[in-house]
Structures are given as C-alpha cells and as structure tokens.
Amino acid sequence: MKLLILGGTRFLGRAMVEIARQQKHQVTLFNRGQTNPHLFPDVEKLHGDRDGDLAALQGRRWDAVIDTSGYFPRVVQQSAGLLAGAVDHYTFISSLSVYADFSQPAMDESAPLGKLHDETVEEITGETYGPLKALCEKAVQQAMPRRALIVRPGLIVGPHDPTDRFTYWPHRVAQGGEVLAPGKPSSPVQFIDVRDLAGWTIRMIETKQTGTYNATGPERPLPMEQLLKTCQQVSGSDAAFTWVGEEFLLENNVSPWVEITLWMPASDPSTAGFHSFDCNKAVAAGLAFRPLADTVRDTLEWHETRPEDHEWRAGLKPAREARLLQAWKRRAK
C-alpha cells in the first residue's frame, strides 16, 4: 500500500510510520521538515505547508492518507480537497474532545458535538480545540464522502509522548518515597498506548474501513490505584501513596489534568464522563490493548534516554508536592 502521512515525525505520526514500515507499506511524509527532521532518512519526504503550500502533493497518487496534524477546518479542507482525487481513503485523527457535554458518562460516537459561535476562529484554547476538531471532521467527510475514517482518541501515552501527562506517573512512582495520589483510589482513568492506536489505525486502513470511532482504553475499567500500583511493581520502587482529598486539592488551587495528571475531580459534574467513553465500536473492529505493565515499562525506559534537565510540561513539581503533603497532614490532625 502506498501511504501518505501528513506529519509523521512526532509521537502518533511517528508510531504510524514505524508500524506502516513494519507492514512493508510504502510511506511518504508531507510536513514542513522542522520537527525531528533526522527521523526516517530512507523514507520519501515532501516538504511544504498545509496552509497554502501543497505544491509538493500535486500530480501524485497514493492508496490512502493519514492526517495526524489537522486542527483548523479551513486548512484541513485544503488537503482533503486536493487529495480527494489522489487517494482512495482518508484517515483523520480527531479527538474525544469533540463532544459537547462531558457530564454524560459512557458517550459513544452518536453523542452531540461541540459547536462554535464563530466557526472561522483559528485560535486553539480549551474551549475551541474540540469544536474545531469536529469541524475538521466535517471538512474531511464532505471532501471524501464514504471514503473517510475518523478516529477520536483520548489521552495517547507511551514512548515519545511530548505532553508528560502519563509519563509523570511512572517517573514519579519510580523515584519512590511518599507520593501524592489525587482523590479516590477507585477513580477510573482512560488512555491508549500510542502503538496500540497506530497499529489498529493501520489495520483499519488496510481493509478500507470508514466511519467514526472512539479510540481509547483500556478495554475494562482501570482505577487510578491500579495504575499507580502497576507503576510501583514495574519500577520496584518503595513508593507509598498518600491519597489526598480533591476538596483540599481544589482549595489549594491544584490544577486538574495538568498539575496532577489524569485527575478530574469527581465533584465536578461537568466532567463526569471524562474517563468513561464508550469504545465498544472500535473494540469490535479489532482495537486491542497491550498489558499496562508493558506501557509503563517502555515509557520509563524511553524517559531514561531524555536529558537529566528535562523540563516537565505536566505534573507536580517536587517542592509543590512536598508542601501539599505537609499541609494535608496538618489538616488531618
């Protein structure tokens, strides 16, 4: 299969390239050549800009395209419109953030999507990201009716994750000592290993599957406590978990999801469905998940290759964690 990937050198795109090559597909990358340009030296690379400079794609043909880097509908329309006559199949990587109401648990692909008052806005914020992705989906489906696969991942994790949202936990637990754990041990979390997502997507493309799929994991509910204990078992650390109440965390202006990763307050009804998306459709279509311990182990091994002075993009700073733990203990007395 001749496969074009828009992006292809960062995280999910990188995993897509690696798996596609393992499956002996012929891969072409289209990007600006700015992110990890050293990767894949023996893969064909076309350079340009999705916003107005698609000349390198003119006059070419591929069996399928994977769009891993579309955020604005106007820009996605350019690539989808140009490639409509040059590919048989278009995969767009969207997001579970497209949904309008996260207070609803167990949302499947039929749940209402977020909307913008001004659909021409091109600034990504917490409020615009999801609705913009929904408009990108629409642009692809209009350009490629009955030939589009829309994939809506949740939090993507594993080696080469630039966000640190998952990596924080294996790393922090591996350091040992007293670890601040948020909220209740039974609180569920959802995420998907980048390699599981990439492998499934490639298989879906190989069989020309279309439609829209929620794509996160695991297959069965995963409590936060199980995640942390798995991190402890994999690293062999002496970590001891202190479960700190969410009311206390909020009172101390601890930022959910970013400062304490994977945590969404159970007391906030507006996010009640955040870690409970229904992915049965994707599972029925072959989406499968590797053991959590493998993801934790591989993430730790990759993290150890990063510079010692790596600046974390998410997670509690050590001094902040220590102060919170001390304050929590004083309050409990």
What pTM was estimated for this model as a whole?
A: 0.96
- Whether the predicted pLDDT of 181 surpasses 90: yes
- Whether the predicted pLDDT of 294 surpasses 90: yes
pLDDT of residue 246: 95
Tens-digit pLDDT profile for residues 38-48: 999 999 999 99
Residue 333 confidence class, pLDDT cut points 50, 70, 90: low
Tens-digit pLDDT profile for residues 301-310: 999 999 999 9
User: Which of 105-114, 226-235, 263-272, 313-322 shows the lowest mean pLDDT across its residues?
Assistant: 263-272
Task: Estimate the crossing angle of helix 292-303 against helix 168-175, to 10 degrees.
Answer: 80
CATH architecture of 2-153: 3-Layer(aba) Sandwich (3.40)
What percent of the chain is modeled with pLDDT above 90? 96
Tens-digit pLDDT profile for residues 126-155: 999 999 999 999 999 999 999 999 999 999
Residue 212 exposed, middle or buried by CB count within 10 Å (0-12, 13-18, 19+): buried
Q: Which residues pair with 240 in a beta bridge?
A: 178
pLDDT of residue 267: 87
Going along 72-204, which residue ranges are E strands? 89-93, 148-153, 156-157, 178-182, 188-189, 192-193
Contact 68, 13 (CB under 8 A): yes
Element (H, E) at 299: helix 292-303
pLDDT of residue 305: 97
Handedness of CA 212, 94, 167, 259 (dihedral sign): negative
- Whether the predicted pLDDT of 257 surpasses 70: yes
Dist CA 226 CA 221 (whole Å):
10
pLDDT of residue 180: 98
Going along 236-281, which residue ranges are E strands? 240-244
- Whether the predicted pLDDT of 332 surpasses 70: no
**Average pLDDT of the residues in 188-199:** 98
pLDDT of residue 240: 98
What percent of the chain is modeled with pLDDT above 70? 99
**Average pLDDT of the residues in 223-233:** 98
Show me where the domains of the chain are located: 2-153, 168-189+221-271+292-332
